């Protein structure tokens, strides 16, 4: 039996979207050469297809991109939606130990691979 790699057999997808932080009154907020703090968020959505997962991801992303007053000065700011960066099917039922994401990386020296690993206790923010 052939499996479609773009279809989740369990109906779940990981959707990542990119937001950038702007001060709404900043003249450079839409300048393609300006630099912005950004966040890439990854969420789980239940969907029948990649396209449906994309649309659900966009809905959630838009909900997280509303203007508000920031800081002690109440400056008008917003996490502006740049767009969807990835839609990935999940192939296993969600449970402890289920693989939901993976990343292929270019070959690196062992000493450099070891530098990518973080020790227990270093994940708190």
| pLDDT tens, position by position, 8-27 | 999 999 999 999 999 999 99
Reported pTM: 0.84
| Residue 69 CB partners (closer than 8 Å, separation 6+) | 75, 76, 77
Kind plus residue range of the DSSP H or E element containing 76: strand 75-89
| pLDDT tens, position by position, 85-103 | 999 999 999 999 998 888 8
pLDDT score of 1 more than 80:
no
């Amino acid at each position: 039996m052939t499996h479609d790699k773009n279809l989740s057999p369990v109906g779940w997808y990981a959707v990542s979207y990119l937001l950038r932080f702007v001060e709404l009154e900043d003249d450079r907020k839409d300048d393609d050469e300006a630099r912005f703090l950004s966040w890439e968020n990854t969420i789980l959505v239940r969907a029948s297809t990649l396209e449906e997962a994309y649309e659900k991801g966009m809905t959630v992303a838009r909900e997280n991109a509303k203007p508000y007053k920031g800081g002690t000065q109440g400056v008008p700011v917003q996490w502006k939606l740049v767009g969807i960066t990835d839609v990935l099917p999940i192939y296993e039922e969600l449970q402890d130990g289920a693989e939901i994401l993976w990343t292929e990386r270019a070959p690196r020296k062992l000493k450099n691979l070891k530098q990518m690993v973080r020790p227990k206790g270093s994940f708190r923010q």
